[in-house]
């Protein structure tokens, strides 16, 4: 039986040639860099996350309190008394926001015009929610970069979620 030559041919066929473009220099990377240079696309590293974010009935506010520090609030509102309302702080750390809603602490992803919470959050985050609602996987896009609009976000009991405290 000639298993060895067949196996050698199969292994050779699986070999993948390295890309001709070095990492970070692909046509897509070049296009994105050109768009950032022209101002068509914002460089997330240079964008201030302050503002109001939304998707459907989900809201997130970020109001600046100092260099890289923000008051943060999240509101999720569903029918039947299910939802979440959380208030606390966020600190910018490159492409992430270190969020602290009391004992509920996690790193959210910041992409310039979008903020995404992780799919799994610490158990303490459930305290901010009623029913089956959760803060997990909150994914909102920028609605406004106005700090005053963000500061106006209120929970169902009319409490400001991003007040100056």
Contact 77, 156 (CB under 8 A): yes
E strands, the chain, are 51-55, 58-66, 69-77, 83-93, 96-101, 104-110, 114-116, 129-130, 139-144
- With 50 as the cut, is the pLDDT of residue 163 above it? yes
Picking from 114, 4, 101, 100, the residue whose alpha carbon sits closest to that of residue 49 is: 114
CA distance 70 to 98: 10
- Across the chain, mean pLDDT equals 85
Render pLDDT for 4-57 as a digit per residue (tens, 0 to 9): 554 444 445 444 444 444 446 888 777 777 776 776 666 667 789 999 999 999
Q: Span 92-116, mean pLDDT? A: 96
Contact 131, 81 (CB under 8 A): yes
Render pLDDT for 120-144 as a digit per residue (tens, 0 to 9): 999 999 999 999 999 999 999 999 9
Residue 16, Cβ density class (10 Å: 0-12 exposed, 13-18 middle, ≥19 buried) = exposed
């Amino acid at each position: 039986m000639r298993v060895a030559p067949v196996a050698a041919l199969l292994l050779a066929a699986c070999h993948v040639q390295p890309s001709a473009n070095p990492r970070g220099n692909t046509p897509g990377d070049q296009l994105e860099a050109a768009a950032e240079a022209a101002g068509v696309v914002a460089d997330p590293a240079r964008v201030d996350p302050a503002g109001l974010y939304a998707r459907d009935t989900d809201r997130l506010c970020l109001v600046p309190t100092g260099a890289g520090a923000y008051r943060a609030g999240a509101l999720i509102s569903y029918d039947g008394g299910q939802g979440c309302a959380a208030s606390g702080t966020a600190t910018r750390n490159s492409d992430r926001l270190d969020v602290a809603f009391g004992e509920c602490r996690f790193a959210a992803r910041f992409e310039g015009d979008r903020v995404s919470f992780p799919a799994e959050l610490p158990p303490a985050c459930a305290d901010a929610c009623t029913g089956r609602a959760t803060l997990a996987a909150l994914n909102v896009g920028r609605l406004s970069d106005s700090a005053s609009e963000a500061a106006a976000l209120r929970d169902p009991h009319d409490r400001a979620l991003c007040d100056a405290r």
